[in-house]
């Protein structure tokens, strides 16, 4: 079959309108062939682009749905992990000892921990001495001491926690007029707090904000403020690099990552304590102390 358009032949291209004279253009066969192929490739490329765009958009939509589902599963698992840690802490407390590291993860009160351990040790040693003077076997004295320590801690834990002196760590304790974040009145918990020195006057802080007993799934909003305490008792509020991270509006959990910039004249290496203050939108405030490296 011979080609309709010959390469070595010129063709007349007529452009005509009703209100104008006809225009005649001589077009070479190669030029006409080139424009026809260019038009066909342009149509094919446009169709391929539309198909490829739709294909990748659909793929992205499926991946986004999977990501949201996995994120919800991870949130559920983290909440379950927090409950298991709290349960393990209660079981450990029934034996008279409370793991410090695990309590730091769930935002436990350090003074409360020290008070319970001191009370358990004191009651155990007193009962052991009494049993030894009375001629009782050491094992029965230890059992009685454990029972008495458990009763004492369960009945008067709150009074002991309020009256117990804080450990002497070289930092002057700052009495706060706000309830603690770990108190039953607080609807939020600060867990997994991690503070690192990233510069001479800069600290990196990372923690999770978890709702407590929020069965109605209501949104809790407010602001987070940080204070640093030095060895001489000086308490300073540093500036944060990301203001958006200091605001929250959550129903379950939020991961907070921010950088703290100390004022001139203060060194990040001298910080011994970090105070976290939660200011809720309804006006309530809750504060908790966290020691560096705890």
Residues 25, 68, single domain; the answer is yes
Looking at 72, 89, 118, the residue that finishes a domain is 72
Residues 221, 158, single domain; the answer is no
Residues 285, 207, single domain; the answer is yes
Helix, strand or coil, per DSSP, at residue 21: coil
Answer yes or no: is 265 within a domain. yes
What CATH number is attached to the domain comprising 240? 2.60.40
DSSP 98-129: --HHHHHHTT--HHHHHHHHHHHHHHHHHHHH
Show the 3-state SS of the chain.
CCCCCCCCCEEEEEECCCCCCCEEEEEEHHHHHHHHHHHHHHHHHHHHHHHHHHHHHHHHHHHHHHHHHHHHHHHHHHHHHHHHHHHHHHHHHHCCCCCHHHHHHCCCCHHHHHHHHHHHHHHHHHHHHHHHHCCCCHHHHHHHHHHHHHHHHHHHHHHHHHHCCCCCCCCCCCCCCCCECCCCCCCEEEEEEEEEECCCCEEEEEEEEEECCCCCCCCEEEEEEEEEEECCCCEECCEECCCHHHEEEECCEEEEEEEEECCCCCCHHHEEEEEEEEEECCCCEEEEEEECCC
Residues 202, 286, single domain; the answer is yes
Residues 34, 110, single domain; the answer is no
Could you tell me the residue range of the domain that residue 133 belongs to? 100-163
Looking at 163, 179, 210, the residue that finishes a domain is 163
Helix, strand or coil, per DSSP, at residue 82: helix
Contact 230, 203 (CB under 8 A): no
pTM value is 0.42
Structure tokens at 224: 């987070």
Residues 210, 274, single domain; the answer is yes
Q: What is the pLDDT along the chain (294 residues), one digit of tens a residue?
A: 556 666 567 788 788 888 888 888 888 888 888 888 999 999 999 999 999 999 999 999 999 988 988 988 898 888 888 888 888 877 877 765 544 444 444 444 454 445 555 555 554 455 555 444 544 444 444 444 444 444 444 444 443 344 444 444 333 444 557 889 888 888 898 988 899 999 889 999 999 988 876 546 678 889 999 999 998 889 999 999 988 888 998 888 888 999 999 998 899 889 999 999 999 998 899 999 988 866
How far apart (Å, rounded) are the C-alpha atoms in residues 166 and 114?
A: 8
User: What is the model's pLDDT at position 121?
Assistant: 54
Answer yes or no: is 22 within a domain. yes
Answer yes or no: is 182 within a domain. no
Contact 242, 224 (CB under 8 A): no
Give the Cβ contact number of residue 264 at 10 Å: 5
User: What is the model's pLDDT at position 213?
Assistant: 66
Number of independent structural domains in the chain: 3
Answer yes or no: is 80 within a domain. no
Structure tokens at 218: 């209501």
Residues 19, 106, single domain; the answer is no
Residues 196, 284, single domain; the answer is yes
User: What is the model's pLDDT at position 254?
Assistant: 87
């Amino acid at each position: 079959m011979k080609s309709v358009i010959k390469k070595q032949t010129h063709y007349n291209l007529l452009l005509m309108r009703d209100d104008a004279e006809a225009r005649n253009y001589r077009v070479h066969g190669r030029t006409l062939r080139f424009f026809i192929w260019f038009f066909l490739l342009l149509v094919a490329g446009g169709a391929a682009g539309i198909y490829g765009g739709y294909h990748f958009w659909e793929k992205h939509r499926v991946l986004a749905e999977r990501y949201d589902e996995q994120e919800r599963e991870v949130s559920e698992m983290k909440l379950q992990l927090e409950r298991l840690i709290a349960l393990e802490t209660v079981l450990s407390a029934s034996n008279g000892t409370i793991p410090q590291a695990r309590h730091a993860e769930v935002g436990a009160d350090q003074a409360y921990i020290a008070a319970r351990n001191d009370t358990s040790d004191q009651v155990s040693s007193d009962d052991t001495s009494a049993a030894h003077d009375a001629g009782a076997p050491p094992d029965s004295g230890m059992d009685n001491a454990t029972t008495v320590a458990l009763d004492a801690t369960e009945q008067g834990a709150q009074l002991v926690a309020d009256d117990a002196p804080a450990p002497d760590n070289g930092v002057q304790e700052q009495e706060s007029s706000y309830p603690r974040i770990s108190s039953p009145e607080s609807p939020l918990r600060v867990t997994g707090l991690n503070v690192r020195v990233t510069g001479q006057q800069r600290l990196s802080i990372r923690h999770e904000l978890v709702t407590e007993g929020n069965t109605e799934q209501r949104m809790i909003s407010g602001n987070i403020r940080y204070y640093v305490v030095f060895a001489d008792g000086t308490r300073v509020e540093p500036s944060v690099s990301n203001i958006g991270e200091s605001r929250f509006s959550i129903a379950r959990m939020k991961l907070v990552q921010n950088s703290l910039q100390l004022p001139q004249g203060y060194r990040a290496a001298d910080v011994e304590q970090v105070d976290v203050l939660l200011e809720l939108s309804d006006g309530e405030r809750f504060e908790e102390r966290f020691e560096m490296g705890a």
